Amino acid sequence: MDITGWQSQLRKGAAELVVLSLLQGGERYGLDILDSAGGSGGVLSDGTLYPLLTRLEREAKVEARWAMADDAKIPRKYYRLTAEGEALVAQMQRAWHEFSAFVTGAIEEAQDGRKTAPAGRTIPALAD
């Protein structure tokens, strides 16, 4: 069975949180963000990162500037959190921890329940 669509939905929800979190360490350029947040098990592809960065900039959660690092051959667009973005990412991280603990807890509880549930518990069906 194919769970690709479901996985995309989860990733889409998490991509903004991950990108904003990565920017907590200081300003970064797109490909650098992609190196950290893309790839196997990651939440981003280059097709999703740039539209996301554009939206985050429009929403004033990040701001960007073009700059040239010492070791760089070309100028790059560097993104950093605005004050609003800083506040937002802290709030999202708290919500993420609550959310992921809930889901992981529900999975574990179900699996423990399965191990300890009395075998053969049955509820009578309705008589026809």
Instruction: Return the DSSP state at 2.
Output: -
* Those residues with Cβ within 8 angstroms of residue 107's Cβ, 6 or more apart along the chain or in another chain: none
Three-state DSSP class for 23?
A: helix
Taking the C-alpha atoms of residue 46 and residue 23, their distance in angstroms, rounded to an integer, is 17
Q: Which is nearer to a copy of itself, 3 or 47 (CB)?
A: 3
39 near 32, Cβ under 8 Å?
no
For a copy of itself, give the closer residue by CB, 50 or 99: 99
Residues that bind a copy of itself (CB under 8 A): 1, 3, 6-7, 9-14, 16-18, 21-27, 36-37, 41-43, 65-70, 75, 78, 84, 87-88, 91-93, 95-104, 106-107, 109-111, 113-114, 117, 121, 123-126
The minimum distance between CB 85 and a copy of itself, in angstroms, equals: 9
